[in-house]
Chains A and B, each alone.
Chain A
Amino acid sequence: MMGAVGRSLRGVRLPTRGRDWRLMGRTARLVLGLPTYAAVAAVASVLSLTGFVVSLNVSLVLAVVVGGSLPLGSRLTILAELYPFVGTSFSPAQGLLLVAVAGLTGVDVAMATYHFREHGLNVQQGGAGAAGVVLGTLGAGCAACGSAVLVGLLSLLGVTGGLLFLPLEGLEFALGAVVVLTLSIYWLADGMRGGEINGCPVDI
């Protein structure tokens, strides 16, 4: 009884048991074992990380990477310097978290694409993945600006100043993205239960 309550919150299934996590790992491994979907995951990861970092400096990218008169080498250097572990915009912890969010986004998109093509996709699964991407982008913003941006955004909801009390200075949003993306991956894996991927059964 308690287990059932723990696993579902108002009908939402949560990965609370070891076998749930093994199911997620096995399903992700099977999907990513297909070259096409591995490529989808890689492209989605790079694009999402690019989206996170470019979102902080849209005007810079438009002015000197896309536009302007700098040589190609300079443009590529400037773009590369926006990424964690290449430039100095993020601390190691912030960079690690953003890369994790981007990696999970790639896995999520690859699994969603597979699931959509094979079985269709329901609103809960798709919505959770999109929420993860949005939270990841907000997390990138917070990591660099020390929460000022989010204070502005959240003031629209009447929570001005509340973010300043977050101990990780807004990086909680990136952590939130990890949670949402993990849930999305779980729901996708759960939705594929009973099926086969590349001839291998999903169930364990």
Chain B
Amino acid sequence: MNRRRYLTLAGTGVVGALAGCGGGSGGESGQSVDDHPATAGLEGLPRRGELGGHVVLTFEDPSCSRCAAFHENTVPKIRSNIVDPGDGAYVVRTYPVVYDWGKPATQALESTYARSGDAFWSLLDHYFTQQSQFDADNVLDRTETFLAGLPDIDAGAVVADARNEAHDDAVQANITAAEDAGLGETTPVVLLFRDGEFATKANGSVSYDLIAETLGVN
């Protein structure tokens, strides 16, 4: 009886944790990138590289520490080994699910992207590299200061839009896409499409080697 109880406890706990942490499968293997629920509105999303080959689609929260690690360790290799040779695209969906300051930061990112793709990438990098400096009270002020140093973007207008949630439809579209695809909230969520077909979903700051092996690239 004791042994049975021991095994039951262990089994229940581990299975429960698996169910909680693993999230859904993220879609059916082989599903076209055009039909996958996570890719709704794909053409209009922030993107490095061209569509038509492999696609690395990520759901990232600017306040998530493992998203920052993913950007530091993995994204540069995605760009140099997949995007730059023309083998595929890296696409980002902002996904505010971790800390409170991620929500206004995401509004600012979408308000920035509506004006300038380059400024969007700069701001995203800034959030990840300076992550410890932000909180819900200062994020928009610091965002305005940073954007003011970039060319060809009206920092005041971006932050005003962010405060008014003028581009909330883009944020909500990302959240809806994640929900429709059953992705859960273990960020970053990385969806891998091999030659336009869904291969799998990965949670966490997975390595470039994992992505390369899954997509069959160097």
Contacts and interface: CB of A to CB of B under 8 A. Distances in A.
Contacts, number: 169
Given A133-B13, A134-B13, A149-B21, A56 B213 contact: no
A74 B213 contact: yes
User: Main SS of the interface on chain A?
Assistant: helix
A93 to B, nearest CB: 12
Contacts of A182: none
Contact of A126 (B5, B23, B98): B5
A130 B210 contact: no
Chain B interface residue bracket vs A: 35 or more
Nearest to A116: B3
Given A87-B207, A152-B185, A164-B99, A137 B2 contact: no
A121 interface: yes
A1 interface: no
Interface of A: 51, 54-60, 62-64, 67-68, 70, 74, 77-78, 81-82, 87-89, 91, 112, 116, 120-123, 126-127, 129-131, 133-134, 137-138, 140-141, 144-149, 151-153, 164, 169
Interface of B: 2-3, 5-6, 9-10, 13-14, 16-18, 20-26, 29, 61, 63-67, 69-70, 73-74, 97-100, 184-187, 199-207, 209-210, 213-214, 216
Closest 7 pairs (CB-CB, A-B):
A134-B13, A126-B6, A58-B22, A130-B9, A144-B204, A145-B186, A141-B21
